[in-house]
Structure 1
């Protein structure tokens, strides 16, 4: 906000009180104290898995409490700066108050977003897969562009990315990219990206420079915690090993380290090839298969296909959630929420996706879409 007034700060104060209620912040303070006491008890690390789970809960609760405390401190700073500015007529103090208020507005948006994530899986890690759709070789190039965009978005958010599978396309781009994202609310945030993404541009491979429309699909799955059991009969699996062809360290392509697992009853196929070890690749592929089977079970129980991944659609015309137009004009527009920007470079090159991600969740919470 360019300028700030007392009503502006009163509105931010009301938002802060609402977010404190959404997050049950008083209960979170008690939870932090309880978990800290339990983590300091003798023998706490005797059960390493349980200890790690508790520490993850403690970190999440601390994040919420510290976020509220920081927002409250910013509000008080803005109120003090505005009061002094009104008393003295100091333009610098007025500008300082406006700057603090703008930062507080961003903080509150983040806290509101966190309060919308009511499923425990929302707070955990995510497995993202990008695959080309209609558009031939151009779609493989678009697949790689999206892959790079998400890597930059994760960097902006401070999330860790581990590339599990990046299969090169026939001539350009990628035929598939799968990566794991670790960080606070990673799955909750990234599930906003699930669906078909459409690109319109001048074809870089067409000598006549004609306009080309291409598509890529994005699938987002939660990394399931260990306490969620998914029974998999080993007799239902076909496991193939082969030479890795994707990005990897020295020696990754010299052995049969890549793994492809086919779940025969469902036809689900999962691959991983970016680890040096066949065992590591198999372990990751099994975790992805576990997540997909878990998703299917939820869909069956709810008698709908959009419990986590959303309805199945062809990766092509009429099914896109977002369009990225580079020619004849420049525009990125989310077709669910109406959020748009003409700064396509910020989105594709710099991973500036927050307006779309936050816009989706605000739309979903407001009844615009299924959670």
Structure 2
């Protein structure tokens, strides 16, 4: 069963290889340098796998020949040679099959696209308050400040797409569009999950440590040419902005709410004075959410043994704790603590991200 399953997977990759072989010689592909480079990178990777597959099939053929000799040949010397050869082939096949899950995972076209192309994309970052009431809203603001300082260190730009203020201070929700030369999503993807804070709130008169939590979701930014959404699948609502912007935004219905009917995904945007601009920004977020939703479904359907730190996209998982009394930040996925919480909250988070990258690479 193992061999049959492997052959099926390799055949899928082989078909993909031949499809790309035909595509990269087409004039409209060659003229599109970005598309051509992406396909060429995938072609070279698949070429390597197809070559390995051919060697694997030769081993299987040799095994059949050895079995045939052992069954039908009457020459004892030939049988002994076939017996030794069979044992060697079985060992080679066993070693190969033990490595096959990792090999096929790391080279499947879908995973190749997600792990390589997505890492170089810009990102949509969504912060939402969770348990803890006003303290959670304040922590959203603190984490927002942390990320903004990190963006400045990295030389990235950001724009606020949507913001909902907290009851007293901070934010209930804020969504950012983050862009840079490269590696934006590849670095920020590790931030997806529940961030827990342990500290004494400013409103706490007894000096007791409280625990609050917020949720961070990082999505790869998907362009319009990559994902077409039918307008007939979208319900558009407009309303008056409740955010900043003066009298203009409060007197006109410039804020936009989009609902993608097939998936029930809803996006709001009210940061621009123009309804048209808010619609464009909301569509940008909607594309990213739909893409991420499909990506998460594929990961769940595969049931691959080797799971990435971010592969499940489960935003309910507690990933990190910020302990203010002890001046410590701990990432629970890799059991790594950094005893410089002040520096971390001032945007010095690359060290933790590098540890996460290394851990994912070594899985």
1:44-193 maps to which residues of 2 (within 5 A)? Answer: 118-183=115-180, 184-193=182-191
Aligned position for 1:257: 254
Aligned position for 1:312: 314
Equivalent pairs counted in the alignment come to 252
1:339 paired to 2:341? no
Distance 1:187 1:322 in 2: 19
1:180-219 maps to which residues of 2 (within 5 A)? Answer: 180-183=177-180, 184-219=182-217
Distance 2:224 2:238 in 1: 26
Is the partner of 1:187 in helix, strand or coil?
helix
Aligned position for 2:42: none
Deviation at 1:265, TM superposition (A): 3.1
Aligned position for 2:218: 220
Larger radius of gyration: 2
Deviation at 1:322, TM superposition (A): 0.7
Is the partner of 1:274 in helix, strand or coil?
coil
**Contiguous gaps of at least 5 residues in structure 2:** 1-30, 39-113
Conserved 8 A contact 2:296-2:313: no
Aligned position for 1:12: none
Change in Cα spacing, 1:198 to 1:251, as seen in structure 2 (3 Å) is same
Distance 1:264 1:226 in 2: 18
Aligned position for 2:265: 268
Aligned position for 2:356: 360
Distance 1:251 1:192 in 2: 39
Deviation at 1:247, TM superposition (A): 4.3
Aligned position for 1:96: none
Conserved 8 A contact 1:196-1:216: yes
Conserved 8 A contact 1:195-1:320: yes
Query: Normalization by structure 1: what TM-score?
Result: 0.62
Distance 1:157 1:295 in 2: 24
**Contiguous gaps of at least 5 residues in structure 1:** 1-46, 58-116
1:241-252 maps to which residues of 2 (within 5 A)? Answer: 241-248=238-245, 251-252=248-249
Comparing 250-259 and 302-311, the one that deviates more: 302-311
Distance 1:178 1:236 in 2: 23
Task: Point out the structure with the larger helix share.
Answer: 2
Q: List per-residue Cα deviations over 1:227-283 (Å, max 9, x = no partner).
A: 4224x3434322222222234578444422111112233221111111121111111
1:287 paired to 2:287? no
Query: Normalization by structure 2: what TM-score?
Result: 0.63
Hey, which bits of structure 1, 4+ residues long, moved more than 4 A?
Answer: 247-250, 304-309
Distance 2:188 2:288 in 1: 15
Deviation at 1:135, TM superposition (A): 1.0
Deviation at 1:205, TM superposition (A): 2.0
Distance 2:245 2:176 in 1: 13
Q: CA RMSD in A?
A: 2.7
Change in Cα spacing, 1:203 to 1:180, as seen in structure 2 (3 Å) is same
Comparing 174-183 and 264-273, the one that deviates more: 264-273
Distance 1:205 1:247 in 2: 26
Conserved 8 A contact 1:132-1:217: yes
Deviation at 1:320, TM superposition (A): 1.3
Conserved 8 A contact 1:166-1:247: no
Deviation at 1:225, TM superposition (A): 3.4
Deviation at 1:199, TM superposition (A): 0.3
